[in-house]
Structures are given as C-alpha cells and as structure tokens.
Amino acid sequence: MILVYFRFLRYVVTKGLGNRQTIEHYKNGKRIMSKPSKDQMLFMYRKMVEIRQFEEAAGTLYQSGQLPGFLHLYIGEEATAVGVCAHLQDDDYITSTHRGHGHLIAKGGKRDRMMAELFARTTGYCKGKGGSMHIADKDTGILGANGVVGAGIPLAAGAGLSATLRGTKQVAVSFFGDGATNQGVFHETLNLAAVWDLPVIFVCENNRFGMGTPQRDHQRVEDIAAVRAPAYDMPGVTVDGNDVLKVYAAADEAVRRARDGGGPTLLNCDTYRFRGHHIGDPGTSYRDREEVQEQERQRDPIRRLAQVLIEEEGVSQEELSALEEKLSNELDEALEFAKNSPEPLPEDALNDLYAGSIQP
C-alpha cells in the first residue's frame, strides 16, 4: 500500500510537471523567478571570482612553463558550476570533466590543494599524481575530474543509485559538455537513471563547441534538453548558463525533485568558453575573434551578477572590489603553499594507484 502511494506521489511529482519545463524568469522586465537572498548572491559572486582568479593564474603559470600536464580553462562558464553547486550539501556528489576546476571550487574544493595538485606536489588532492584532469576528493563529494569525455556521466548515476539503496537524501550532479552528449554512455545513463528514478541532475554545459567543432557540425540537435530529455521521459530545462541566477533557479527545482524522490533532470546550460579549448589553442581559428569579444562583453557571468548586486541589492562597487582583493590575496597564499610543498618521491610512484596500496 505504502509502495503504491509512493509510486503515485512520484508519478504526480514527475509527470505532473510534463517533460519539458520552461521557467519564466522575467515578466515586463521584472524578475519573477525564485530569487536567492543577497547573502546567497554574494556567496555565488565570491565563488565565481575564486574560479576566475584560479583559472587566470593557472593559465599564466602554464604559459610560463611552471605547470606540467594539460590545462583546459573554464573562464566564461563559471555561472553553471556555481549556480548548480549552490544547492548541494557537503555529502552530495559531483562528477566533472577535463574542464573541471570550476566544478571543484564550486563544490568546496580548496584552491591551495588544487594548485598544489597542478604543481604535482604531495599536498595536492591526489598527492601530485593526478594533475588538472584527475582531481578527486571524496570528503567533498568530488568523484573526479575526468580526461575521458562522457566518463563522469555513469559515475553520477552510480552515486545516485548508491544513495537510493542506502536510503539517504543525497543527490549526484554530473557536469559534461555538448560534445559528450554524443557519447553512447550519455544515452545509456539517462535511460537507466529515468527507469530507476535516480536522484541525479545531468548538467550539460553547452559552450557551443567540442574542441574546434561547432555544435551544428557535431549534432543536429540545437536545444539538447528539449530534444534529448523527452527521449528518456525526464524533465529537461534549457537556461542561459551565463546568468547565474537563472541557473540557480533551474537547479533549485531539479535538486529538490531529485532529493524528494522525483528522479533525474537534464539541465542544459547555454554558455561559452572565452578561451581556447586548451591552453595551447588560441581559440580563434574556428570562430571569429569578434564573436568571442562580443560574448565577453555581453555575457560575462561575473559582470552580470555584479550588475544585479549593485542595481538591485544595494551593494557598492567598492565592496565587490574589496572582496576580489581579499580573494586574490588568498590565491597568492595558495600559490605559495603549492610552490613550497614537496614533490612526490619516486618510491611512492606505485602507491595510491588503487583503493588499497599495492607493493611491487
């Protein structure tokens, strides 16, 4: 009886909403969506600035030859990670991508330990053996950045299944790009997540390119949520991924639904990367320089939130500048911490490769 009731409730919660939701954010120029408090907005501002500063510093360090490995910058896409992770608790899970620094900072990753990981030092999250694309930290629910496109998607479903079986209220979020939605594993995972009503939010960061290939040349679909969510009978929402308040509102509904047993959502965030695909790519051979400049001028997520804070919340530019300076000083300390940390020893090379250490 209880099971029937539960299933009925779940049906009402999920189907009652319809497959595709549209969220009205403005009416007659006025904001009508669920709005975070001023403190929450300042928190999100802080997080986006933390990410931007980290990325700019990492880019400079890499280009001056101080960082080993590869680097994919998230500059321009900060609002997606921050708007979604603002709803997550410490024990919720995320899975990330090759472009993962923003997700990790938004979920609570510390910049000093991340920077140490980029410098390949023992104080890094993976003791210096992972680097940019493999940072993981189970204490903050970060199930890993990932160099394999789409590979984080099924991990999130696994985390969601685990939470369901353990009867917790945890949710799992998977971040991935538009290119990753062409992978078979994306479709398999969405199918199972829908069938099993898993507490997972699939967040597509549609930055309009997979490496140098524009979205229109790698898939026929334009609105990924509108087309692909109904295929798996789950709610799908597309938002301006460079407006953190819109991402916040859409993620609010999706996370609540997942936590309340209403199953998964596909959230498609329309965003844009301001830099090249990776640090060695100027990013202007497959798109016009003017297009990039226009995006930076019109859609910088940090500047857009600053405008709302100043115009609607009575925050002064001086307060925002003071916050940025404080965060910049913290980043300097993180850099010092990383540079002064020891490198891994050769005899530790085979430790920590598996869940338990192996000895040769």
Ligand X SMILES: Cc1ncc(C[n+]2csc(CCOP(=O)(O)OP(=O)(O)O)c2C)c(N)n1
Beta strands in the chain (DSSP E): 26-27, 30-31, 93-95, 172-177, 200-206, 209-210, 213-214, 236-240, 265-270
CB of 135 to ligand X, least distance (A): 16
CB of 298 to ligand X, least distance (A): 20
* Stretch of 100-108, 202-210, 256-264, 330-338 contacting Mg ion, by CB under 5 A: 202-210
Contact 245, 312 (CB under 8 A): no
User: Quick check: helix, strand or coil at residue 340?
Assistant: coil
Q: Annotate each residue in 164-183 with x if it binds Mg ion (CB under 5 A) or - if it does not, as one string.
A: -------------xxx----
Contact 164, 115 (CB under 8 A): no
DSSP assignments along 51-70, one per residue: HHHHHHHHHHHHHTT-S-S-
Contact 38, 64 (CB under 8 A): no
User: Quick check: helix, strand or coil at residue 358?
Assistant: coil
Within 10 Å of residue 12's Cβ, how many Cβ atoms?
11
**Quick check: 211 binds ligand X (CB under 6 A)?**
yes
**Quick check: 207 binds ligand X (CB under 6 A)?**
yes
Contact 178, 215 (CB under 8 A): yes
- Helix H segments across 31-171? 38-63, 78-85, 101-107, 111-118, 152-166
Q: Annotate each residue in 125-154 with x if it binds ligand X (CB under 6 A) or - if it does not, as one string.
A: ----------------------xxx-----
Per CB under 6 A, the list member of 25, 47, 87, 99 interacting with ligand X is 99
DSSP assignments along 102-123, one per residue: HHHHHHT--HHHHHHHHTT-TT
Q: Vertex 250, ends 244 and 254: CA angle to 5°?
A: 135
131 contact choice in ligand X, Mg ion, none (CB below 5 to 8 Å, kind-dependent): none
Contact 181, 145 (CB under 8 A): no
In the bound state with ligand X, the residue whose beta carbon lies nearer, of 143 and 180, is 180
**Quick check: 322 binds ligand X (CB under 6 A)?**
no
Per CB under 6 A, the list member of 83, 177, 262, 276 interacting with ligand X is 177
Q: Annotate each residue in 203-222 with x if it binds Mg ion (CB under 5 A) or - if it does not, as one string.
A: ----x--x------------
Q: How far apart are CA 64 and CA 111, in angstroms?
A: 20
Which residues ranging from 224 to 283 are in contact with Mg ion (CB under 5 A)? Answer: none
Please give the helix or strand (H or E) that residue 169 lies within, else none: none
CB of 105 to ligand X, least distance (A): 16
**Quick check: 180 binds ligand X (CB under 6 A)?**
yes
**Quick check: 270 binds ligand X (CB under 6 A)?**
no
**Quick check: 83 binds ligand X (CB under 6 A)?**
no
**Quick check: 210 binds ligand X (CB under 6 A)?**
yes
99 contact choice in ligand X, Mg ion, none (CB below 5 to 8 Å, kind-dependent): ligand X
211 contact choice in ligand X, Mg ion, none (CB below 5 to 8 Å, kind-dependent): ligand X
- How many residues of this chain interact with ligand X, rule: CB under 6 A? 14
**Quick check: 277 binds ligand X (CB under 6 A)?**
yes
User: How far from 97 is each of 100, 121, 152, 185, 320, CA to CA, in Å?
Assistant: 5, 21, 7, 14, 30
Residue of this chain nearest to Mg ion (CB atom): 177
**Quick check: 300 binds ligand X (CB under 6 A)?**
no
Residue of this chain nearest to ligand X (CB atom): 177
In the bound state with Mg ion, the residue whose beta carbon lies nearer, of 112 and 178, is 178
In the bound state with Mg ion, the residue whose beta carbon lies nearer, of 179 and 276, is 179
Contact residues for Mg ion, defined by CB under 5 A: 177-179, 207, 210
Query: Could you list the residues that contact ligand X (CB under 6 A)?
Result: 98-99, 147-149, 177-180, 207, 209-211, 277
